[in-house]
């Protein structure tokens, strides 16, 4: 994960308290508790939220934290509901239990026992890059989902659109004709503007439809392909194709502040 990672850990309050006590002052939760940006807790669950952290496993504290998350995943997958358990059992620390009274028939009294209960957990972490995320959980995401979206288009393009910028108007006109032939009702807007202090003007095109870059390229003639190669060579060609809010084609689109973002929608308890 990158430098500015953010995320959540949702853990049963009972497990959180048991692990924190067992690990003592040098434990992960004791050392990290004051560093979490937000902590929310109720009788069943505790949720920890962090932001802008260096989540590198080369850091001892981070490595120990991931060990805790691994334990949650391991023991949750091996959970046996209704199993009688005592503090001496190896998995007691990672179990949610409820005290019950055992068999109280004559001459067969059994004192209070602890029975394992259903429980869940969730962990989500997002780094700096769109595809740099992790969601680990049990049965339920606690409302935790990952979404991608794109910023950079004009207001009239929404869930699907194409953008192209070139210095050779021939290429822009070719794309316009190609789109109009396939999608005659598509709204197309052409722009001409200076490109980053360059001496030449860039010719831009926006269209509220979606095609993949290679489909347009495949129908170019040899002269047009040569023009496009020249534009790629001097880094003046830019293309972005968006479908369902996700950047599906991206060639130097960052030049025009067209960026894809990703975020984990936080859990709730």
pLDDT (mean) for 142-167: 91
208 to 60, 154, 158, 266: CA distances (angstroms): 50, 10, 8, 31
Please give the CATH number for the structural domain made up of 151-259. Answer: 3.30.70
Q: How far apart are CA 248 and CA 253, in angstroms?
A: 11
Q: How far apart are CA 150 and CA 162, in angstroms?
A: 12
Across 54-130, the runs of DSSP E, i.e. the strands, are: 84-85, 97-101, 112-116, 122-126
Token couple for 231:
């534009």
Local structure of 124: helix, strand or coil: strand
Local structure of 207: helix, strand or coil: strand
Roughly what angle, to the nearest 10 degrees, separates helices 222-233 and 169-182? 120
122 to 7, 134, 185: CA distances (angstroms): 10, 11, 46
| Residue of 199 and 227 predicted with greater confidence | 227
pLDDT at 254 over 90: no
38 to 122, 135, 269: CA distances (angstroms): 16, 19, 13
Closest of 89, 59, 54 to residue 75, by C-alpha: 89
CB 73 within 8 A of CB 10: no
pLDDT at 1 over 60: no
Local structure of 138: helix, strand or coil: coil
- pLDDT computed for residue 249 by the predictor: 93
pLDDT at 205 over 80: yes
The DSSP result for 172-191, as a single string, is HHHHHHHHHHH-TT--EEEE
pTM of this prediction exceeds 0.85: no
- Domain residue ranges of the chain, discontinuous segments joined by +: 5-142, 151-259
- pLDDT band at residue 83, thresholds of 50, 70 and 90? very high
Average pLDDT score, the chain: 88
| Residue of 70 and 113 predicted with greater confidence | 70
- Burial code (b: 16+ CB inside 10 Å, e: under 16) for 167-196 equals bbeebbebbbeebeeeeeeeeeeeeeeebe
How long is the chain? 269
């Amino acid at each position: 994960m990158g430098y500015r990672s953010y995320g959540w850990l949702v853990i049963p309050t009972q497990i959180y308290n048991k692990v924190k006590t067992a690990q003592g002052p040098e434990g992960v939760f004791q050392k990290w508790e004051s560093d979490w940006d937000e902590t929310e807790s109720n009788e069943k669950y505790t949720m920890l939220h962090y932001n802008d952290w260096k989540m590198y496993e080369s850091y001892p504290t981070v490595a120990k934290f991931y060990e805790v998350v691994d334990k949650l995943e391991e023991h949750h997958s091996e959970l046996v509901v209704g199993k009688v358990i005592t503090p001496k059992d190896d998995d007691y620390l990672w179990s949610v239990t409820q005290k019950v009274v055992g068999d109280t028939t004559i001459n067969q009294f059994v004192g209070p026992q602890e029975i394992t209960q259903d429980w869940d957990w969730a962990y989500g972490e997002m780094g700096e890059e769109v595809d740099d995320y992790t969601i680990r959980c049990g049965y339920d995401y606690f409302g935790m989902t990952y979404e991608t979206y794109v910023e950079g288009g004009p207001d009239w393009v929404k869930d699907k659109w194409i953008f192209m910028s070139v210095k050779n108007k021939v290429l822009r006109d070719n794309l316009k004709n190609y789109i109009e032939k396939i999608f005659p009702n598509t709204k197309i807007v052409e722009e001409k503007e200076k490109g980053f202090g360059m001496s030449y003007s860039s010719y831009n095109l926006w269209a509220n439809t979606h095609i993949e870059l290679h489909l347009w390229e495949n129908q170019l003639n040899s002269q047009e392909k040569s023009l496009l190669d020249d534009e790629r060579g001097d880094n003046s060609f830019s293309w972005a194709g968006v479908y369902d809010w996700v950047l599906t084609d991206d060639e130097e689109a960052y030049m025009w502040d067209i960026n894809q973002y990703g975020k984990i929608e936080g859990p709730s308890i």
